[in-house]
Amino acid sequence: MKTSTLFGATLCTFLAAGAHAQSSVAIYGFVDVGIRHVNNSGVGSITSEASGGYRTSRLGFRGTEDLGGGTFAGFKLEAAVGADTGTAGSTTVAGQFFNRGSYVELGNKSYGTVRLGLDLNPTYVTWFENDPWYGIGMGSAGNLFNTTQNGPLRSVFGPVSNTETTTFYTRNMVQYFSPNVGGFFGVVAYAPREGALSSAGAAQQAHFRLGYNAGGPFKAAISRATSHAQVVAAGPVSLEVDTDANASYDFGPVKLAAAWRQFKADTSKQNNYFLAATIPLHSGNLQGWYGRSKMSGTVAANLVPGTSAGSIDRDGAAMWVLGYQYFLSKRTTLYTTAAHLSNHGHSFLSLPGGPAVTIANFAGHTSTGYEVGISHAF
Amino acid sequence: MKTSTLFGATLCTFLAAGAHAQSSVAIYGFVDVGIRHVNNSGVGSITSEASGGYRTSRLGFRGTEDLGGGTFAGFKLEAAVGADTGTAGSTTVAGQFFNRGSYVELGNKSYGTVRLGLDLNPTYVTWFENDPWYGIGMGSAGNLFNTTQNGPLRSVFGPVSNTETTTFYTRNMVQYFSPNVGGFFGVVAYAPREGALSSAGAAQQAHFRLGYNAGGPFKAAISRATSHAQVVAAGPVSLEVDTDANASYDFGPVKLAAAWRQFKADTSKQNNYFLAATIPLHSGNLQGWYGRSKMSGTVAANLVPGTSAGSIDRDGAAMWVLGYQYFLSKRTTLYTTAAHLSNHGHSFLSLPGGPAVTIANFAGHTSTGYEVGISHAF
Amino acid sequence: MKTSTLFGATLCTFLAAGAHAQSSVAIYGFVDVGIRHVNNSGVGSITSEASGGYRTSRLGFRGTEDLGGGTFAGFKLEAAVGADTGTAGSTTVAGQFFNRGSYVELGNKSYGTVRLGLDLNPTYVTWFENDPWYGIGMGSAGNLFNTTQNGPLRSVFGPVSNTETTTFYTRNMVQYFSPNVGGFFGVVAYAPREGALSSAGAAQQAHFRLGYNAGGPFKAAISRATSHAQVVAAGPVSLEVDTDANASYDFGPVKLAAAWRQFKADTSKQNNYFLAATIPLHSGNLQGWYGRSKMSGTVAANLVPGTSAGSIDRDGAAMWVLGYQYFLSKRTTLYTTAAHLSNHGHSFLSLPGGPAVTIANFAGHTSTGYEVGISHAF
Q: Which residues of B touch C99 (CB under 8 A)?
A: 86
Q: What pLDDT is stored for residue B162 in this prediction?
A: 57
Q: Does B191 touch chain A (CB under 8 A)?
A: yes
* Residues of chain C positioned with their CB less than 8 A from the CB of A14: 11-12, 26-28
Roughly how many angstroms between the first and final C-alpha of chain A, as a whole number?
A: 19
| CB B114 within 8 Å of CB B176 | yes
CA geometry: angle A95, A98, A104, nearest 5 deg: 125
Give per-residue pLDDT as tens, A204-223. Answer: 999 999 999 999 999 999 99
Residue from C39, C25, C13 nearest C369 by CA: C39
Average confidence (pLDDT) over B67-82: 97
Residue A219 CA to residue A245 CA, distance in Å, equals 11
Alpha helical stretches, state H, A68-205: 122-128, 152-157
- C245 vs A: CB within 8 A: no
One-character DSSP codes across C259-317: EEEEEE-SSEEEEEEEEEEEEE-SSEEEEEEEEEEEEEEEE-TTSSTT--SEE-TT-EE
Tally helices (H) and strands (E) across chain C. 4, 21
Say how far apart CA B329 and CA C66 lie, in whole Å. 9
The Cα A199–Cα A176 span in angstroms is 27
The whole-angstrom separation of Cα A321 and Cα A339 is 4
Predicted confidence (pLDDT) per residue in B143-172, tens digit? 999 988 999 998 888 877 656 788 889 999
Please tell me if residue B9 touches chain C, with a CB cutoff of 8 Å.
yes
Cβ–Cβ contact C194 with B under 8 A: yes
Task: Report which secondary-structure segment, H or E, holds A3.
Answer: helix A2-6
User: What pLDDT score does A144 carry?
Assistant: 97
Q: How far is C134 from chain B (nearest CA, A)?
A: 21
How would you classify the pairing of strands B184-191 and B169-177? antiparallel
B19 vs C336, more confident: C336
List, as ranges, residues 10-29 from C with C-beta within 8 Å of A: 11-12, 26-29
Residue C274: what pLDDT? 98
pLDDT tens string C128-171: 999 999 999 999 999 999 988 999 998 888 877 656 788 889 99
Query: Phi/psi at B147 (nearest 5 deg)?
Result: -90, 5
In DSSP notation, A98-130 reads STTEEEEEEEETTTEEEEEEEEE-HHHHHHHTT
B88 versus A307: the higher-pLDDT residue is: B88
Return the exposure string of A123-141: e unless at least 16 CB atoms fall within 10 Å of the residue's CB, then b.
Answer: bbbbbbbbbbbbbbbbbbb
C355 touches chain A (CB under 8 A): yes
Query: Does residue A81 sit at the B interface (CB-CB below 8 Å)?
Result: yes
* Chain B touched by A93 (CB under 8 Å): no
> Mean pLDDT by 10-residue block, N- to C-terminus, for chain C (378 residues)?
28 29 79 98 96 98 96 98 96 90 97 97 96 96 93 86 78 97 98 83 90 98 94 85 98 98 96 98 96 95 78 96 98 98 96 95 97 98
Dihedrals φ, ψ of C248, to 5°?
A: -150, 150
| B86·C97 Cβ contact <8 A | yes
pLDDT of residue A232: 80
Q: Does B91 touch chain A (CB under 8 A)?
A: no
Chain B's closest residue to C192, CA to CA, is: B48
Residues 100-129, chain C, touching B (beta carbon < 8 A): 100-106, 114, 116-118
**Phi/psi-derived region of residue B214, left when phi > 0, alpha when psi is between -120 and 50, beta in every other case:** alpha
Tell me the β-bridge partners of C11.
Answer: none
Q: What is the ipTM of this complex?
A: 0.91
Give me the DSSP letters along C248-265: EEE-SS-EEEEEEEEEE-
Interface test with B, best of C169, C194, C197, C228 (most B CBs within 10 A): C194
CA distance B4 to B14: 12
C81 touching chain A per CB within 8 A: yes
Q: Which of C6, C11, C85, C120 to probe the A interface (max A CBs under 10 A)?
A: C85
Instruction: Write the secondary structure of chain B as one string of H (helix), E (strand) and C (coil).
Output: CHHHHCCCCCCCEEECCCCCCEEECEEEEEEEEEEEEEEECCCEEEEEEEECCCCCCEEEEEEEEEEECCEEEEEEEEEEEECCCCEECCCCCCCCCCCCEEEEEEEECCCEEEEEEEEECHHHHHHHCCCCCCCCCCCCHHHHCCCCCCCHHHHHHCCCCHHHCCCCEEEEEEEEECCCECCEEEEEEEECCCCCCHHHCCCEEEEEEEEEECCCCEEEEEEEEEEEEECCCCCCEEEEEEEEEEEEEECCCCEEEEEEEEEECCCEEEEEEEEEEEEECCCEEEEEEEEEEEEEEEECCCCCCCCCCEECCCCEEEEEEEEEEEECCCCEEEEEEEEEEEEECCCCCCCCCCCCCCHHHHCCCEEEEEEEEEEEEC
Q: Check B102 against A91: CB less than 8 A apart.
A: no
pLDDT tens digits along B165-224: 888 899 999 999 999 999 999 999 999 988 888 777 778 999 999 999 999 999 999 999
pLDDT for residue A157: 85
pLDDT score for C166: 86
pLDDT category of residue B20 using cuts at 50, 70 and 90? very low
A282 burial via Cβ count (<10 Å: 0-12, 13-18, 19+): exposed
**AA identity, residue B117:** G
